[in-house]
Structure 1
Amino acid sequence: MEEEVNYASVVFKANKASSPKAKSEEETVYDEVKVQENKTNQTADTPGVLPAGKSSGSCHHVQVVAWCLGILCVILLSAVIALCVYFATAIHESERLVSDLKADSYNLTNHIKNLSSANDELKKDHSNLTILIGNLTRDKGILESRNTNLTTENLQLKTEKSDLERRIENMTRERNELNLTRAQWSLDAYCPKKGNSQERQCGPCQEGWIHSPSLSSCYAIVDPDSSGQRTWEEAREDCRGKNSDLVIIGSLEEQKFIYEHSWGSTSETNGYWIGLRNASGSWKWVDGSNLTEEYWIKPPSANAHCAISLQKTLEKPKGWKAVDCTERNRWICEMNALSV
């Protein structure tokens, strides 16, 4: 039969004569107790052996306690490990959360800075927009004022246009009437009636003008008395009133023709205004052409800016003379002859 092994604890107490160190200590001795079935009847009288029933109960109780303690240790160890894992996980999670919070805080700070910068830009844009709106409002007022002024000016221009059109119409009518009058005058001047007859005889020049067939010109020798004589400008205005101008002498032939047909006083100081004047230091004819032929009696004086043709004498023509333009003299007009 198998042997049953039990464990028992025996406490030995030392004698009173032991050393102080021994007094404070108790020795516990563990020993194996082998119990055989055939010795179950052994009595407690045997020295140093515990009763069998008591030893078995005590060992079973110790085993239960040991198992309970073991299980409790395992549970406690598991709980400690679980708590350690939990706290480690919690710490790691908290560290991760703190890191995330720091990152979020950094990002939020940057976002706030960006928002602040954007807000500043918006404020600046708002300020610029306010200024622009103010400028546009001012420009709008100026444009409206200009539009009002332009509208007023447009109305004035329309009124002036109407007045101008009416004046043009009146001037057109007056011009037509004048043309008719001039046509009648020209008809009477170039084609005068002879005597009491209604027949007209036309000529190349107006009545009272001298015709030069070779020169194709008509000349009016204006020879009033001293009270009717005029300055150079006044004489020219008279010629223009006759649809002509002061005579332009372009050749010696024309010069001789003018001399031959001039009359009046034989005084050398009196002459006829011709269309020759000193302008800006050079002598020019009234048509703008330069002087090419000179028939001066003597060099002109400083104040002599207009020319006269001297009257013919008993001997021969004497040429031109430069005199003051404000002197009063007779004058000669010239115009083109008509072809008849």
Structure 2
Amino acid sequence: MMFCSVVALKVSAAASVFQHLTMAMELTSGCIYENSVQKTRKGADVDASPGEIYENPLVFQKEEKADMTTNPGEKPEERVSTATITTVMKKQETTISDLADENKHLILEIRNLTNQTEQLLVENKVLQNQTEQLLVENKVLQNQTEQPLVEKRSLSEQNKQLMEKTRILENQTAEMRKERDNLNWTLEVILTFENFPVKDFCPQRKCKPCLDGWIMLKKSCYLFNYESSPWKTWEQSRQYCRTKGADLVVIDSLEEQKFVSNRSSYYYDTCHGYWLGLREVNSNWTWVDGRIDTLKYWINGIYGTPGPYALLIPQKNYSENWDRVENTFLNRFICERDVLIKSD
């Protein structure tokens, strides 16, 4: 566009110069005409009419040229003026010719620019078509991109649902495992009996963890023998517990030690107590389940006649209330067994 503006300015300038030259030529012609008239007036017959004088200026010009060449009496100033006019006209003609050539050159440039403009318009049209095609392809790609995003969101939602279902199934599985473990536990407890007392454990078809008269702590049931008499030796006491599907108590922790101590009441005298499932085997105090004792809640010093069996003495400090006594000593006892139904 800028180049076209320059060309237009050049063409306008050329036209302006051409117009000025034309005006100059007209003025020059007028001057020539006027001089010829004047000379004609001087050399014409007096009887000639004014209309005849101005009738044909070209005739006067030709006569003037003839006079310049044939009239030796013509003044030098007149010959110099005619030569100057001729020189000026030749220069003007040269300028006009140059301007005409330049005009032709500018016309050619305009044509070239027009052709280039048309070519650029064609290329621009091609680019517009390509741009539109790219926009269409971009729209297709966007649609293709949105489709996977929609599918991804759908899959994410399905994944969340599956995760929720998985969590529910895991919880159900954990519950079923717990129930299975509890059932296996119950089965093992039942198998400890030669004849399982169904009516005692499950009156009205609803089972309970411990039999009546037993006290539950966590996973165990405890039977405290509070009979006034006759009491039993350690071996007799253990045999009784076994008939109940149990054994003499095995203490595993300080909590259990406190539990049995708090429920062992005083009777007869300070030397009597409750048999524990603990005895000396090969110089090691061993529980009836085979574990060696590590708690050692023994009474300091010698309390009674020492022996290889452990007896819990009531109303003593629970961390120091075990006594070592003989099997022949008759006492009460504590039985322990697993609960029939394990609670969480």
Instruction: Give TM-score, length-normalised by structure 2.
Output: 0.40
Which structure: larger Rg? 1
Instruction: Give TM-score, length-normalised by structure 1.
Output: 0.40
Q: Larger relative contact order (C-alpha < 8 A, sep ≥ 6)?
A: 2
Structure ranking higher in strand proportion: 1
